[in-house]
């Protein structure tokens, strides 16, 4: 049997738990680098997924706490989709993603890991980026370190998200 070494997961297992909504915590605290925030404005913030489906996976999250898309102000939703367009360009240009999955899981029954606060996922994809190990071994293999990807995207994020 092969062993996969993933020391960055240690933080998840032993790490300090945030009381309440993790997304509201990120919204209210401005230590962006320690939180993995790539961008924030008055409506939303863009944060790297600490436990991604693939390297570079990030989320666009409204500051407004709701579990209901239909309760979200339409202007905030339109702003989120505009940020998604810019985020797709960033993933394609900076990480050479050949495709991007975009989606929301609404509610625990809909598959949301954090069901109490809606969020839009952007997951970069490459040809052959998944294989049997995810299905059979319930394991994901990442070829790049989280911090390396975060720093790379952080360096260019303002040119994407702040542009018209």
Active site residues: 119
Cα 29 to Cα 12: distance, rounded to the nearest angstrom: 20
State phi, psi for 127 to the nearest 5 degrees.
Answer: -60, 125
State phi, psi for 142 to the nearest 5 degrees.
Answer: -110, 135
Cα 124 to Cα 131: distance, rounded to the nearest angstrom: 16
């Amino acid at each position: 049997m092969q062993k996969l070494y993933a020391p960055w997961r240690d933080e998840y297992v032993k790490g300090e738990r945030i009381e309440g909504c993790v997304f509201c915590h990120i919204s209210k605290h401005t230590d962006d680098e320690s939180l993995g925030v790539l961008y924030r404005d008055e409506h939303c913030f863009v944060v790297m997924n600490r436990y991604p489906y693939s390297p570079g996976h990030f989320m666009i999250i409204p500051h407004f706490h709701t579990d209901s898309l239909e309760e979200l102000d339409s202007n905030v939703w339109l702003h989120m989709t505009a940020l998604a367009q810019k985020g797709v360009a960033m993933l394609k240009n900076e990480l050479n993603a050949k495709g991007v999955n975009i989606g929301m899981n609404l509610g625990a029954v809909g598959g949301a890991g954090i069901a109490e606060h809606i969020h839009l996922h952007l997951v970069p994809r490459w040809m052959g980026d998944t294989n049997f190990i995810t299905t059979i071994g319930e394991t994901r293999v990442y070829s790049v370190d989280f911090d390396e990807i975060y720093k790379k995207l952080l360096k260019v994020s303002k040119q994407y998200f702040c542009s018209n």
